[in-house]
Amino acid sequence: MSALRTIAEYGARIDGPAEEFLTREPRDLYGMLKYFMGYSDTEFVPASGIAGKRVRPGLALYVADAYGESTAAAKAALSIELFHNFSLIHDDIEDHDEFRRGRETVWKVWGVNKALNAGDAQLLLALLALKGDIDSVDVESYLLTQYLRVIEGQHQDFSLTELPLSDSGVTKEAYMQMIGNKSAELISASAVVGGLSANVPASDIELLRVFGFELGLAYQLFDDYQSIWGSEKETGKKAMGDLIERKKTLPVIWARDTLSNEGSTELVRLFNDSTATHSEDILLLLEKVNAKEYLMQTVAAHVEKSLSALASLQIAQEHKDFLADFVNELVPQK
């Protein structure tokens, strides 16, 4: 069995508690959340479809298990997955995405107003899930801080989106900071709470932070690769989707800064022209400076940092080997 599938099975342990947690009144409000989590259809009839890989709660539970505390992270894992799905409900509205995981998004089915309100409810439920039998205040305080960083990352994403590609504020550093907050911090938190729940030494908490954060960066950057160069059959995403949507991801910023003055000017012009798609022309400019190779080298560098931190953890070698397999399956090297 693959490591990614095993992590997903760990993560699936939150499904029973999550479905029970979402069984509330008014039924139609919480039914929307059950639908998004994969527990029901649009008529709120129970369904068995799995919505998402459950990577984040699975990682939290596996790390806790590796330290001999298999159930200590249960509440935190539930909270993390509820929060992650809250962010996606709002993300779909903000990006005008009509489908996620092969099904219509919440706003597409029930409208923007109800979707916003449902997302707000899911956020508060994520916070409520931290109450109860969590022994450590550190876990709750830590996760609240991490959740805020994700929201800050979303704000940074809005700010970058609003700027033209030619703006001096559109930099590699700004982009990396944004994906660090928006994406990597939650994966980092998943690893860290596994350790916090098991009361591991501070040195291992820091290693878990680096392990998860670097993995999160690599994961998001690999998603950037797939969103430009991946096939629709492989990824389930529209081919060259990020170019069609004019997303200023790392390879685009790299190309702007690496092309000749003439090429950089042309790239900016194509990005600013909303009258046509231009995705093929933009792709040619990216390939002119080997942006794909640069991106995958950057992915590999972050994977290496993640694996380096993993190697120093005070857990059994079999767990290190398993988590290394997980990293390589989650972020396959091309």
Residue ranges of domains in the chain, CATH in brackets: 3-330 (1.10.600.10)
Under DSSP, the state recorded for 183 is: I
Give residue-wise pLDDT tens across range 179-222.
999 999 999 999 999 999 999 999 999 999 999 999 999 999 99
Q: Is the pLDDT of residue 251 over 90?
A: yes
* Residue 16: how many other CB atoms lie within 10 Å: 10
Please give the Cα distance from 122 to 82 (Å, whole number): 6
| Whole-number Cα distances in Å, 313 to 207, 211, 270 | 7, 10, 47
Tell me which residue of 32, 78, 36 sits closest to 54, measured CA to CA.
78
What pLDDT was estimated at residue 131? 82
**Whether 89 contacts 114, CB under 8 Å:** no
Token pair of 204 as six digits:
């291992």
DSSP letters spanning 217-254: HHHHHHHHHHHHHS-HHHHSS-TTHHHHTT---HHHHH
Among the listed ranges 19-33, 41-55, 177-191, 212-226, which one has the minimum average pLDDT value? 41-55
Please give the Cα distance from 213 to 314 (Å, whole number): 18
What pLDDT was estimated at residue 236? 64
DSSP letters spanning 8-23: HHHHGGGHHHHHHHT-
pTM value > 0.85: yes
- Ramachandran region, residue 294 (left: φ > 0; alpha: ψ -120 to 50; beta: rest): alpha
Under DSSP, the state recorded for 180 is: I
Please give the Cα distance from 315 to 312 (Å, whole number): 9
